[in-house]
């Protein structure tokens, strides 16, 4: 745990710009897009939901206290959107990995007996720790702000969306971090493409979440998002477990 | 007493061997200087012994046990020629970072290497030589059975190099140290044994005294004939060629010439045993 905290702190220390961008995105998420989405759920006569949710069960429902199954899945668009700041927060971990590889720190880790998997796990845990800290602040802040600004929102929806964000975000963080560590390990020349590529991988892995929001109902969408998160997490885990066999130790040398 | 044995070890990168069938046994607590021209395989040898690279064949045994054995973890300290320092940290934080991983006391290392004035400076603000000092510092955090030091005094000024060598010599009284260098004088200053690597093969494993006993030739230019004073032969380009057993003897000869009131305009080594050993690439 100590090495995880140290790695997370080091990542936090090497690049402040991503933290600033994440904070900006978070403020926008809490004050602009999430309230808009929640309000759309709460609206008794939402014309927006009518136009976007032709295929959902709850087209013309008027009850504010209705069951979650009746709502449009469009509100689930908050899930992939809320993950964007998480991707920003963990990008410094990817930068740190590249930096440590070039600087010989990974070589040092190998010399003290760590395996490729141990090293990947160390940086992945740091990324998950940073994501956890972020979500621990973001989720309650989002709920409180929305509650204070827009009043009561049906309990199911109010809690379900941020709660789906949590497993989805962890899965995407694991996938993005593992992919980028593998990419940076195998990269022959330093082309400086790690940051944009990492963010693209992260964003692409959230893309099914957007699709879910547009084509499925709320309840089915929730299950679909959770299933997608499980699949992404399983792929990341498989990559991680096989890293000792797939990636040669010398690839981690400067 | 620690011992290191390599038995027919071949190793390299991406399936291509750089080292070929290296075998030797180092069983004295002393400094073994690993010499060889650039690209000979010195760093690959160190990485293989440290377990960073998996050897494609052969065995690496420390105190009779395979280095891949769990018990052997933490018994080897490897100093890469990369500094491996987290540049965003201060010197103290960097040493603490390593002591948290492998143990040891950063304050003791700071005292040992006189790093007090650098203690609170960020690694990124240090010169290459200062970074090297800090990097060496992490070697002394915790005692190990075997030390693999890959060009530890590169980028250091002569005074500091001497200090570091003295610390390593002290360390080697009851430890096994493998020390890579390009420089025979440095090697003869610190080492008792030589491991010469050439084209990925073991070219020599011997007492360094045996290498030093070979001829050492110095060219001297002077304003008068010095051939009778120090038994030098007149050579090409106005040089008197002096053949001695060691650089120290050359210094004594110089003293003798100067005492006679002769002006020495130039003195240079013409070759040394390493050049012979390395072949065309020289030192």
Which of B52, B53, B86 is facing A105, going by the closest CB pair? Answer: B86
Interface probe, candidates A9, A113, A114, A252, chain B, greatest B C-beta count within 10 A: A113
Whether residues B224 and B193 share a domain: the answer is no
Whether residues B25 and B123 share a domain: the answer is yes
Question: Is-above-0.90 flag for pTM?
Answer: no
What is the DSSP code (8-state) at residue B247? H
Give A-chain residues touching B141 at CB under 8 angstroms: none
Kindly determine whether residue A113 and residue B82, on different chains, have CB atoms separated by under 8 Å: no
pLDDT band at A42 (very low <50, low <70, confident <90, very high): low
Interface probe, candidates A14, A15, A99, A105, chain B, greatest B C-beta count within 10 A: A105
Whether residues B197 and B142 share a domain: the answer is yes
Per-residue pLDDT of B120-139, as tens digits, reads 999 999 988 888 889 988 88
Put simply, whether A248 touches B (Cβ < 8 Å) is: yes
User: Above 80 in pLDDT, residue A23?
Assistant: yes
Give B-chain residues touching A112 at CB under 8 angstroms: 73-74, 101-102
Whether residues B241 and B193 share a domain: the answer is no
User: Above 90 in pLDDT, residue A128?
Assistant: yes
Question: Around A140, how many Cα atoms within 13 Å sit in the side-chain half-sphere?
Answer: 5
Interface probe, candidates A101, A112, A115, A245, chain B, greatest B C-beta count within 10 A: A112
Query: Locate tokens 């420390």: which residue?
Result: B62
Whether residues B151 and B218 share a domain: the answer is no
Give B-chain residues touching A248 at CB under 8 angstroms: 14
Kindly determine whether residue B51 and residue A10, on different chains, have CB atoms separated by under 8 Å: no
pLDDT band at A38 (very low <50, low <70, confident <90, very high): low
Kindly determine whether residue B80 and residue A110, on different chains, have CB atoms separated by under 8 Å: no
The pLDDT value given to residue A44: 44
Q: Which residue of A has its CA nearest to B131?
A: A103
Mean pLDDT of chain B: 86
Give A-chain residues touching B102 at CB under 8 angstroms: 112
Q: Regarding beta strands B240-244 and B233-234, do their DSSP bridges make them parallel or antiparallel, or are they unpaired? A: antiparallel
Instruction: Give all strands of the β-sheet with B176-181 in edge-to-edge order.
Output: B76-79, B146-150, B176-181, B31-35, B193-198, B201-207
- Compute the distance between CA of residue B48 and CA of residue B11 in angstroms, rounded to an integer: 7
Please give the structure tokens belonging to residue A188: 């022959």
User: Above 70 in pLDDT, residue A67?
Assistant: no
Count of domains in chain B? Answer: 2
Phi and psi angles of residue A121, each rounded to the nearest 5 degrees, phi first: -60, -40
Please give the structure tokens belonging to residue B205: 């494993």
Q: Which residue of B has its CA nearest to A96?
A: B86
pLDDT band at A217 (very low <50, low <70, confident <90, very high): confident
Kindly determine whether residue B76 and residue A250, on different chains, have CB atoms separated by under 8 Å: no
Please give the structure tokens belonging to residue A252: 């981690």
The distance of B163 to chain A (nearest Cα, Å) reads 24
pLDDT band at B147 (very low <50, low <70, confident <90, very high): very high
Count CB atoms within 10 A of the CB of residue B201.
14
Interface probe, candidates A11, A12, A108, A123, chain B, greatest B C-beta count within 10 A: A108
Q: How far is CA A95 from CA A11, A70, B133, in A?
A: 8, 44, 26
Instruction: Give all strands of the β-sheet with B65-66 in edge-to-edge order.
Output: B16-26, B4-13, B57-62, B65-66
Whether residues B187 and B268 share a domain: the answer is no
Whether residues B185 and B224 share a domain: the answer is no
Whether residues B150 and B248 share a domain: the answer is no
Kindly determine whether residue B80 and residue A104, on different chains, have CB atoms separated by under 8 Å: yes
Whether residues B177 and B109 share a domain: the answer is yes
Whether residues B274 and B162 share a domain: the answer is no
Per-residue pLDDT of B19-72, as tens digits, reads 999 999 998 888 999 988 888 899 999 999 999 999 999 999 998 899 888 777
User: Above 60 in pLDDT, residue B3?
Assistant: yes
Whether residues B251 and B136 share a domain: the answer is no
Residue B137 domain boundaries: 4-211
User: Above 50 in pLDDT, residue A80?
Assistant: yes
Whether residues B67 and B191 share a domain: the answer is yes
User: Above 80 in pLDDT, residue B161?
Assistant: yes
Among B171, B196, B211, the domain boundary falls at B211
Check: CB of residue A254 under 8 Å from CB of residue A246. Answer: no
Check: CB of residue A45 under 8 Å from CB of residue A62. Answer: yes
Kindly determine whether residue A103 and residue B74, on different chains, have CB atoms separated by under 8 Å: no
How far, in whole angstroms, is CA A79 from its chain's centroid? 9
Please give the structure tokens belonging to residue A4: 């995880």
The pLDDT value given to residue B150: 92
The pLDDT value given to residue A53: 40
Burial track A113-142 (b if 16+ CB lie within 10 A, e otherwise): bbebbebbbbbbbbbbbbbbebbeebbeeb
Stretch B182-203: mean pLDDT:
84
Of residues A50 and B131, more confidently modeled: B131
Which of A10, A13, A103 is facing B84, going by the closest CB pair? Answer: A103
Put simply, whether A14 touches B (Cβ < 8 Å) is: yes
User: Above 60 in pLDDT, residue A76?
Assistant: yes
- The B residues from 202 to 231 touching A (CB cutoff 8 Å) are none
Which CATH number covers residue B49?
3.40.50.300
pLDDT band at A60 (very low <50, low <70, confident <90, very high): very low
Q: Which residue of A has its CA nearest to B13?
A: A250
- Compute the distance between CA of residue B74 and CA of residue A114 in angstroms, rounded to an integer: 11
Please give the structure tokens belonging to residue A249: 């130790």
Interface probe, candidates B56, B86, B136, B154, chain A, greatest A C-beta count within 10 A: B86
Identify the top-confidence range among A38-42, A136-140, B5-9.
Answer: B5-9
Put simply, whether A111 touches B (Cβ < 8 Å) is: yes
Task: Give the three-state DSSP class for A6.
Answer: helix
Domain boundaries, chain A: 2-252
- The B residues from 32 to 91 touching A (CB cutoff 8 Å) are 47, 50-54, 73-74, 76, 78, 80, 82-89
List of residues 6+ apart from A230 with CB closer than 8 A: A167, A171
The pLDDT value given to residue A156: 56
- Compute the distance between CA of residue B178 and CA of residue B45 in angstroms, rounded to an integer: 10
User: Above 70 in pLDDT, residue A20?
Assistant: yes
Kindly determine whether residue A103 and residue B87, on different chains, have CB atoms separated by under 8 Å: yes
Put simply, whether A103 touches B (Cβ < 8 Å) is: yes
């Amino acid at each position: 745990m100590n090495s995880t905290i140290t790695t997370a702190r080091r990542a936090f220390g090497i690049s402040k710009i991503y933290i600033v961008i994440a904070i900006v995105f978070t403020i926008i998420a809490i004050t602009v897009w999430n309230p808009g989405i929640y309000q759309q759920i709460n609206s008794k006569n939402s014309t927006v939901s009518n136009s976007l949710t032709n295929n959902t069960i709850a087209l013309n429902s008027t009850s504010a206290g209705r069951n979650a199954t009746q709502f449009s899945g469009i509100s689930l668009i908050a899930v992939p959107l809320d993950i964007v700041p998480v991707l920003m927060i963990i990008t410094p971990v990817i930068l740190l990995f590249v930096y440590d590889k070039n600087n010989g720190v990974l070589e040092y880790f190998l010399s003290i007996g760590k395996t490729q998997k141990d090293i990947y796990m160390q940086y992945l845990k740091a990324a998950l720790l940073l994501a956890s800290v972020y979500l621990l602040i973001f989720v309650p802040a989002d709920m409180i702000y929305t509650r204070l600004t827009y009043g009561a929102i049906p309990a199911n929806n109010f809690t379900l969306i941020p709660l789906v964000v949590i497993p989805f975000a962890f899965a995407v963080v694991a996938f993005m971090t593992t992919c980028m560590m593998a990419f940076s390990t195998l990269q022959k020349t330093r082309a400086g493409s790690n940051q944009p590529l990492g963010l693209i991988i992260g964003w692409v892995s959230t893309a099914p979440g957007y699709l879910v929001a547009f084509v499925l109902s709320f309840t089915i969408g929730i299950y679909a998002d959770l299933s997608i998160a499980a699949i992404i997490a399983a792929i990341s885990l498989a990559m991680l477990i096989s890293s000792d066999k797939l990636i040669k130790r010398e690839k981690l040398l400067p | 007493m620690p011992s290191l044995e390599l038995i027919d070890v071949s190793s390299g990168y991406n399936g291509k061997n750089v080292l070929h069938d290296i075998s030797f046994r180092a069983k004295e607590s002393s400094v073994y200087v690993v010499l060889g021209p650039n690209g000979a395989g010195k760093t690959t040898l160190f990485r293989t012994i440290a377990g960073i690279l998996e050897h494609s064949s052969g065995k690496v045994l420390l105190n009779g046990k395979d280095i891949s054995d769990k018990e052997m973890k933490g018994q080897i300290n490897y100093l890469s020629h990369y500094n491996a320092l987290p540049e965003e940290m201060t010197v103290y934080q960097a040493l603490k970072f390593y002591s948290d991983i492998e143990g040891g006391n950063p304050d003791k290392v700071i005292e040992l290497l006189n790093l007090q004035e650098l203690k609170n400076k960020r690694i990124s603000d240090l010169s290459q030589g200062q970074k090297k000092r800090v990097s060496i510092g992490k070697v002394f955090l915790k005692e190990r059975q075997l030390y693999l030091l890959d060009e530890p005094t590169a980028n250091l000024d002569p005074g500091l190099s001497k200090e570091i060598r003295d610390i390593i010599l002290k360390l080697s009284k009851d430890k096994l140290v493998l020390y890579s260098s390009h420089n025979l004088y440095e090697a003869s200053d610190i080492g008792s044994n030589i491991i010469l690597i050439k084209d990925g093969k073991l070219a020599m494993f011997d007492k360094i005294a045996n290498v030093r006993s070979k001829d050492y030739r110095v060219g001297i230019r002077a304003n008068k004939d010095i051939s009778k004073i120090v038994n030098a032969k007149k050579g090409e380009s106005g040089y008197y060629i002096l053949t001695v057993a060691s650089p120290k003897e050359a210094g004594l000869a110089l003293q003798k010439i100067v005492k006679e009131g002769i002006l020495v305009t130039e003195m240079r080594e013409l070759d040394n045993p390493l050049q012979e050993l390395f072949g065309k690439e020289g030192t």
